[in-house]
């Protein structure tokens, strides 16, 4: 407290007067700087004090026998916490009295004033914790005899269209349901990757599909990034890939690997079979606007190559009998 008061004092003191000042500061209370202590009485015997309280501040002018004036000010306005507690207690008592009165009314009248009861309760709730109001705003509210009634009346006077709030709430409810359904749909491993850009999805009204597919692909990439390298080093890559593709779908998994290979164009550690398999997704990557690097993983290129080759093997094995059949057909 001493340091705070000293900072706002506007005069020069010699060493002797500073001792007196220390004595004087010791007897000032934090809230009001009231001169109530014997030490201050002793100090006043040496000086004539002129005290002025205005604008929520206390000004004390001290004049000695030689005409030297000592002047300092102390803020005596209640703190923000004190004002908030004061207004909350006042509004709580007011609301308790209001509810007690409501209990004496008929059921029909209570129902007719249900909106007022709810609004008053909400307004009071806003003051249970720290508010965003300034000290001056809080001080104004404390001046009202019935602040809660004043706030409710002021609320009614505003041109507020509650129907807009209801419309927003209805839209949010419907969106939440749609979002959950779409997310569930894209958890199906057989669900194809959403092929369009976000801007196209907005036009088509398919933003939830775009978001769900994107999130699923990112989760798919994260699963590979987390477990593939250890599986590769332990000789268990095949088992890992089986579980991975069963969870996210083979196309989505290969798409993640293709996006990674596309990001590392020119990497010689990707062999032709892997590059050929990755090429299947070039058109899809272009249709998605080319912004597919976000799906790339950080695993070593050898791990990426081995995974892509294994996932591409069934496709090549299906194509092989066709090639053999063409070779066995006689030329015409």
Q: Are residues 57 and 131 in the same domain?
A: no
pLDDT of residue 170: 85
Task: Please check whether residues 22 and 109 belong to one and the same domain.
Answer: no
Task: Report the alpha-carbon distance of residue 6 to residue 21 in Å, rounded.
Answer: 9
Strand partners of residue 71:
61
Local structure of residue 288 (DSSP, 8 states): T
Question: Residue 73's pLDDT is what?
Answer: 52
Q: Which residue from 199, 297, 205 is spatially nearest to 256, judged by alpha carbons? A: 297
Q: What are 59's strand-pairing partners?
A: 52, 73
Say yes or no: 129 and 48 in one domain. Answer: no
Task: Report the pLDDT value the prediction gives residue 10, as an integer from 0 to 100.
Answer: 41
3-state secondary structure of 25: helix
Looking at the structure, do residues 47 and 132 belong to the same domain, yes or no? Answer: no
d(CA 41, CA 26): 12
Q: Are residues 215 and 306 in the same domain?
A: yes
Q: Which residue has the tokens 């307004």?
A: 123
Closest CA to 244 of 263, 216, 269, 281: 216
- pLDDT by 10-residue block (mean), the chain, 332 residues: 44 53 53 43 47 48 61 62 91 95 94 93 91 87 91 81 77 91 96 95 94 97 96 96 96 97 93 94 92 94 96 64 43 39
Q: What pLDDT is attached to residue 290?
A: 80
* Whether residues 18 and 60 fall in one domain: yes
Are residues 204 and 231 located together in one domain of the fold?
yes
* Confidence at residue 130, expressed as pLDDT on a 0 to 100 scale: 85
Same domain membership, residue 115 and residue 56:
no
* Pair (300, 212) in one structural domain: yes
Domain count, the chain: 3
Which are the contacts of 229, defined by CB distance < 8 A and separation ≥ 6?
A: 299, 300, 303
pLDDT of residue 171: 87
Domain that holds residue 107: 80-157
Domain assignment of residue 34, yes or no:
yes
Give the DSSP per-residue string, 294-325: GG---S-HHHHHHHHHHHHHHHHHHHHHHHHH
Considering the domain boundaries, does residue 47 fall inside one? yes
Which tokens sit at 142? 């404390």
Sheet holding 57-63, edge to edge: 48-54, 57-63, 69-75
Residue 186 lies in a domain: no
The DSSP string of 59-78 is EEEEE-TT--EEEEEEE-SP
Q: Determine the Cα–Cα distance for residues 192 and 196; give it in Å rounded to an integer.
A: 12
Q: Tell me how crowded residue 87 is: count the other CB atoms within 10 A of its CB.
A: 22
217 and 248 belong to one structural domain:
yes
The answer to the question of residue 169 being in a domain is no
Model confidence, pTM: 0.55
Q: Is residue 125 part of a domain?
A: yes
Residue 63 lies in a domain: yes
């Amino acid at each position: 407290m001493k340091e705070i008061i000293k900072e706002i004092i506007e005069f020069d003191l010699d060493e002797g007067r500073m001792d007196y000042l220390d004595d004087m500061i010791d007897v000032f209370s934090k809230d009001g700087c009231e001169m109530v202590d014997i030490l201050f009485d002793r100090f006043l015997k040496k000086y004539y004090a002129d005290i002025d309280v205005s604008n929520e501040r206390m000004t004390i002018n001290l004049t000695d026998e030689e005409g030297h004036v000592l002047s300092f000010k102390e803020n005596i306005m209640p703190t923000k916490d004190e004002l908030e507690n004061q207004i909350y207690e006042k509004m709580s008592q007011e609301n308790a009295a209001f509810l007690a009165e409501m209990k004496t009314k008929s059921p029909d009248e209570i129902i007719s004033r249900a909106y007022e009861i709810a609004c008053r309760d909400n307004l009071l709730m806003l003051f249970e914790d720290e508010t965003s109001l300034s000290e001056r705003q809080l001080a104004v509210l404390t001046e009202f005899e019935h602040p809660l009634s004043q706030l409710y009346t002021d609320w009614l006077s505003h041109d507020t269209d509650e129907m807009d709030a209801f419309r927003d709430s209805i839209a949010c409810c419907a969106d939440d349901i749609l979002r959950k359904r779409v997310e569930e749909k894209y958890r199906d491993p057989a669900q194809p990757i959403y092929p369009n850009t976000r801007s196209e999805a907005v036009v088509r009204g398919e933003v939830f599909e775009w978001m769900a597919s994107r999130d699923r692909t990112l989760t798919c990439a994260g699963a590979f990034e987390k477990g593939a390298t250890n599986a590769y080093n332990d000789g268990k890559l095949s088992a890992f890939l089986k579980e991975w593709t069963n969870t996210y779908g083979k196309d989505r998994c290969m798409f993640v690997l293709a996006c990674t290979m596309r990001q590392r164009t020119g990497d010689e550690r990707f062999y032709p079979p892997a590059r050929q398999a990755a090429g299947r997704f070039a058109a899809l990557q272009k249709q998605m606007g080319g912004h597919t690097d976000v799906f790339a993983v950080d695993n070593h290129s050898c791990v990426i190559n081995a995974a892509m080759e294994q996932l591409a093997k069934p496709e090549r094995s299906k194509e092989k009998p066709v090639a053999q059949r063409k070779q066995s057909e006689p030329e015409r």
